[in-house]
Structure 1
């Protein structure tokens, strides 16, 4: 009998105590441009706060001041982050750079060291709320709500956690980590390796719009399996599943074992195929239930000319695989992997421009429960987040969305993959039983 993948339920952090200072507004060190920043239809898709933590096992005595001063310097280059959301004359979201309200910055002290916090890859909301500062009083007031917040929490034995809350309309993961790494470069006394590019009008919709297929990507799935009732009835559970190199090799072998694959398969594609299939089974989808897998694909290099290297914004689209649950469960995983590869390969300039036009005309519609969004952060350059006392030992996030699955790097050498998702209690137990390699 194969052994199941190690699974971890997120702790509630009830024993964690954090004392915070009153937030101060950090402003750019020098005068920055006013006016406004155009936001694209892709930026409009999601303007929720995305919280992340960077966990360092050692720091310096003046670490808080180093981080704060470097933030003031980097905001000269990333000046839109000190502004606030506004509306254009057409009623579209913009960044109002006249409202220089700054970035709230909080100093904090915790009652523990990094080792006692355990696995930080995915955080319970209560833990996240202690390590990442957000202002709940501005949540429904975008005109004054900060686009970025920062909290530095000092731990026992010299450890430190940097907690960030980023408004997703400002950047995708690539742009966000580039900002963090630029911040770290300045803290180390180095010049920026990449200068940010703020003109988002290069991704304006075409006039008239030119919306073309594949139309599967626009399908709204009906709930033929009554999953909605299950999600309402049961407690939602978030767990992480760790795949080391041996388990990843086993998953890739499964994805090629039946000889259906026409080309080499990456660990990401193999894992995505396995998780999509297993989730569909765990949710007891009926054979005729339509199910969809979607994944973010960076299109910066797909345009002609390419999107500038320092582009600060969202530049991803979400190609989809659509089939019935019966087809998904009956076919070999190699065939599912092939579906995913074909979806990724569909992303070219025409595809990206078509999706921009579609979102501008029709807006974004929430994914149904039959859809799984798989997002991988394993290739993001977290290792460059060195503020002068070494790379982070752990990286974590929280606020996982119900229809999402996140792939993170894990293990002491960051070569493992941590798969994180949320399911109703009974479905999660079934998922864990089925997810064996």
Structure 2
């Protein structure tokens, strides 16, 4: 969201946003093109900007932001074109605005989108001096185009996907961090997990526990974590390097292992640590056989709708998380 003067009319806000967008796109030129095959054609391109009037207050959305189709209404519809970037500006009755953006993953990753939005916000505020030209990386020269298509988890995900939102307070996450250690050996000393490792392991463990309770299931579960590869390159890239420079660290966990907190954290940390410069080199060379395909083809991996029904009623999960509104 950008902080614009509420005294401005919606037309004035729209003009200001479009002007600043045009300015910042000079530093992110691939975004003003169209996607052709596996590259961005920047000739005669542009960014499609939608506008929508939302008949409610912004606070109503922030207090209870329902995921899924409801939130998608604030995003631009890009089903009829092949643009790299599309924007939707949503005007609320209270005078606030919310901006939704869709970005082609062939061109950039989430880190790049965040960098772009931050630079756009600085430009809109008039902080033009701070908008330093981003290091636009030729992604297809770093990784073959097939990297965008290599998504092992799509081998087993069914089409019936259920999306839910759970809110954890800072105190809840801090408590989880204290409970999840990376080793069970007292002699070696306890190495505490990061907030990300603890929260990810907790959510994962509760999902496994809730979906295998009283079933005696021998399922395999895949734990996937996004990894920013910029600092894992040789030589490393800057944090604001623009492109699709990310990967997925993946590990397999069995139902029998979910109760051992240190096992989950260790496996997650190990999977992320394996995404090193050697793995990045393989990706650059077009080698994608980084995962055990036999495990991924195991039908016991298939995600079901009733699994979410069990997960969202798990007592241990609900003791630390709220499934509805923000605290």
TM-score, normalisation: structure 2: 0.77
1:187 aligns with 124
Q: Is the 8 A contact 2:221 2:254 kept in 1?
A: yes
Higher helix share: 2
Match of 1:174 in 2: 111
SS in 2 for 1:319: strand
Q: How far did 1:102 drift? A: 1.3
Question: Alpha-carbon deviation of 1:424?
Answer: 1.8
Equivalent position to 2:93, from 145, 156, 163: 156
Match for residue 335 of structure 1?
263
Note the alpha carbon deviations across 1:203-261, whole angstroms, 9 max, x for none: 146xxxxxxxxxxx9988998xxx96xx86xxx54221111122112212331398458
Structure 2 CA distance for partners of 1:430 and 1:116, relative to 1, 3 Å? closer
Q: Which structure 2 segments of 5+ residues have no match? A: 145-149, 321-327
- Separation in structure 2 between the aligned mates of residue 194 and residue 279 of structure 1, nearest angstrom: 43
Structure 1 residue 193, shift from structure 2 partner:
3.3
176 and 262 in structure 1: CA distance in 2 versus 1, 3 angstrom threshold: same
Aligned residues of 1:133 and 1:151 also touching (Cα < 8 A): yes
Q: Distance in 1 between matches of 2:174 and 2:236?
A: 34
With over 3 angstroms needed to count, the CA separation of the structure-2 counterparts of 1:156 and 1:339, relative to structure 1, is same
The 1:84/1:120 distance shift into structure 2, 3 A limit, reads farther
Structure 1 gaps of 5+ residues are: 1-53, 88-92, 139-144, 206-216, 372-401, 404-422
Q: 1:252 to 1:57 in 2, by over 3 A?
A: farther
Counterpart position of 1:116 = 60
The one of 131, 137, 160 aligned to 1:198: 137
CA distance in structure 1 between the aligned counterparts of 2:223 and 2:140, rounded to whole angstroms: 30
Q: Are the structure 2 counterparts of residues 95 and 323 from structure 1 closer, same or farther at C-alpha, using a change threshold of 3 Å?
A: same
Query: Is 1:73 aligned to residue 23 of structure 2?
Result: yes
Matched, 1:83 2:33: yes
Superposed CA offset, 1:317-362 (max 9, x none): 2122223222x234x2122111111222222210212234345689
Cα offset, 1:268, TM superposition: 0.8
Residue pair 1:292, 1:370 contacting (<8 A) in 2 also: no
Distance 1:120 1:427, change over 3 A: closer
Once the 2 structures are TM-superposed, how far is the Cα of residue 308 of structure 1 from its aligned partner?
4.1
Distance 1:133 1:220 in 2: 26
Greater relative contact order (Cα < 8 A, sep 6+): 1
- Paired residue for 1:24? none
From 241, 246, 259, the counterpart of 1:311: 241
Contact 2:282 2:288 (8 Å CA) reproduced: no
Figure out how many residues of one structure are paired with residues of the other and give that number.
299
CA gap 1:203/1:162 in 2 versus in 1, 3 angstroms: same
Q: What CA deviation, in whole Å up to 9, does each residue of 1:261-316 have, x standing for no partner? A: 84221111011111112222333385432222111111211222212444211112
User: Which string of whole-angstrom CA distances, capped at 9 and with x for unpartnered residues, describes residues 67-103 of structure 1?
Assistant: 110111112221222221223xxxxx122223x2311
Q: Verify the 8 A CA contact 1:287 1:324 in the aligned structure 2.
A: no
* C-alpha distance in structure 2 between counterparts of 1:175 and 1:259, whole Å: 38
Alignment RMSD (CA, Å): 3.5
3-state DSSP of counterpart to 2:179? helix
- Specify the SS of the correspondent of 1:77: coil
Tell whether the 8 Å contact from 1:175 to 1:312 is kept in structure 2 after alignment: yes
